[in-house]
Homo-oligomer: A and B are copies of this chain.
Amino acid sequence: MNLKELATKLGLSPTTVSRALNGYPEVNEATRARVIAAAKRHNYHPNTRAIRLATGRAMAVGHVIPIATRHEIVNPVFADFIAGAGEIYSRNDYDMILSVVADEDEEATYRSLKSKGNVDGVIIHAPRLNDARIPLLREIGLPFVVHGRSTGAAEPYNWVDVNNRRAFQRATEFLLDLGHVRIGLVNGLEFMDFAIRRRTGYLDALAARGIGPDPSLMFSGEMTEFSGYRASQAMLALPRPPTAILCSSMISGMGARRAVEGAGLVIGRDISIIIHDDDLSYMKNGEDVPIFTATRSSVREAGRLAAEMLLHVIAHPDAGPQQRLLEAELIIGQSTGPAPKA
């Protein structure tokens, strides 16, 4: 059942039927009601492909996922972000297109997405310092929103981000207030912008109390369980081990916990741990009582906000750059306590 058939059945022109269904004013309300009823009765759904060609809009948004060579983006955090964004897209009749491509094809993918007209806009994931994708997308004229920020970008751009610096600064201050002085940082990969900001927050808080950086207490790597385990284990083996560890994710925090317990220490008494909690749906930080003290910010909500922003940017290309900074909450759990007496 297509538009022409429906129009014939109704004894109307395709023009009128199309207008009736799309809410245009130049159609008699009685006629409109008749058309709508007939459309429902005959289970008419306009062909998306035809709409797209006729309107010149893709009604789709792209997420390009480079396959890991340097950094695995297909991680639990990504999944939750996608879920949040996807809610918004389907609510607005947009398709979400995921392109999984080799690292080196990423630029070509954006260009082809634009020139072949597959999408109306894209979301940039996991931005780095001076991320090359920002000038690229500006150049090819594809609307975009960045999930995160990219320090060093020349001009303003659209982004949704958590205040990572402040979050880690507060977490560090919280530990300092508990008397901790030697605080380890198990960070993400520090060519990622968010990881840089977290480190900055951590260092700022330490510096404010006159504590300088100690490289042996600072680790940067993939945020896996194993990586968190090994980094924590190494720190605990130091002559002067930390009394607290700040972890960049729930998963690396679980690795840290394994290392601490493996060393026969008790979390919250001998060693305090704070994690960053993305509030993942299938990896809750406890149910009623949080397992870990954490800086919490829902990445799913960030996905919703970024998607909404992108749709807004697509609809209003000339509105200025949109920006949204989210604050993380500091959630007190069972993994922190006063620094043990020396």
- Whether A49 contacts B53 by the Cβ 8 Å rule is yes
- Residue of B whose beta carbon sits closest to that of A58: B49
Contact with B along A107-124 (1 / 0, CB 8 A): 001001001111000000
Given contacts A90-B100, A225-B254, 4 further A-B contacts (CB under 8 A): A49-B117, A65-B83, A75-B76, A257-B258
Residues B47 and A49 in contact, CB atoms below 8 Å apart: no
Please tell me if A224 contacts chain B, counting CB pairs below 8 Å: yes
How far is A50 from B163 in the complex, measured between Cα atoms in Å?
43
Nearest B residue to A261 by beta-carbon distance?
Answer: B261
Choose the segment among A166-174, A199-207, A283-291, A312-320 that binds chain B (4+ C-beta atoms closer than 8 Å).
A283-291
Closest approach, in angstroms, between the C-beta of A281 and any C-beta of chain B? 5
Residue of B nearest to A47 (CB): B117
Q: Residue A68 at the B interface, CB < 8 A?
A: yes
State how many residues of chain A have any CB contact under 8 Å with chain B.
59
- Whether A7 is near chain B, meaning CB under 8 Å from some CB there, is no
Cβ of A222 under 8 Å from chain B: yes
CB A268 to nearest CB in B, in angstroms, measures: 13
Q: Which of A91-99, A178-186, A270-278 contacts B (4 or more CB under 8 A)?
A: A91-99
Q: Indicate if the CB atoms of A67 and B49 lie closer than 8 Å.
A: no
Does residue A234 face the partner (Cβ distance < 8 Å to B)?
no
Query: Which residues of B have CB within 8 Å of A58?
Result: 49
Question: Is the beta-carbon distance between B257 and A222 smaller than 8 angstroms?
Answer: no
Nearest first, the 9 closest Cβ-Cβ pairs linking A and B are: A86-B100, A79-B79, A74-B83, A45-B115, A49-B52, A48-B116, A75-B282, A49-B53, A53-B53
Q: Flag if A226 contacts B286 (CB, 8 Å).
A: yes
**Closest B-chain residue to A300, C-beta based?**
B74
